[in-house]
Amino acid sequence: MDDMYRDYILDHYKNPRNFGELEGATHTYHDSNPLCGDEMTMQLKIDDGHVDDVHFTGKGCAISQASASILTEEVKGKTLEEVKAIDRDHVLANLGIPISPARIKCALLGLKALKGAAWGLTAWPGEEVKT
């Protein structure tokens, strides 16, 4: 049994939950990891301060896609404040596999996009596009 590429990780990778465009999204954030070329968009539909629905689209490695997929399952029904409070340790614990330092950005890309959406950011502070 592989310690990192466990069956549920590969299942989330091959059959991502809540994947695709979300109609009526109120919050959208796109992020990428230039190191691997991963792309990730998180969309939230917030109704009365709660996550009515959440979808993501993206392409990338098994770790980034599975992490995002697991995250979307978790946040449905949560309040916006609860979503804003999710931290990296929680995401890594939920992922349940050892993540090497080189892959940490993969594991957290979904969270980063989710937070960007929840906070209504157009860009993460310090990551504004420079011309």
Q: Could you list the residues that contact another protein (CB under 8 A)?
A: 2, 4-5, 10, 34-39, 59-63, 100, 103, 106
> Shortest gap between Cβ of 58 and another protein (angstroms)?
11
Give the Cα separation of 44 and 118 in Å (integer): 7
Give the chain's radius of gyration (CA, Å). Answer: 14
Q: Where are the alpha helices (DSSP H) in 1-131?
A: 7-14, 62-75, 80-85, 88-95, 104-118
Residue placing its CB nearer to another protein in the complex, 62 or 121: 62
Residue 109's SS3 state is helix
> Shortest gap between Cβ of 23 and another protein (angstroms)?
27
Residue placing its CB nearer to another protein in the complex, 4 or 85: 4
> Shortest gap between Cβ of 48 and another protein (angstroms)?
38
Residue placing its CB nearer to another protein in the complex, 38 or 53: 38
> In sequence order, what are the beta bridge partners of 43?
28, 55
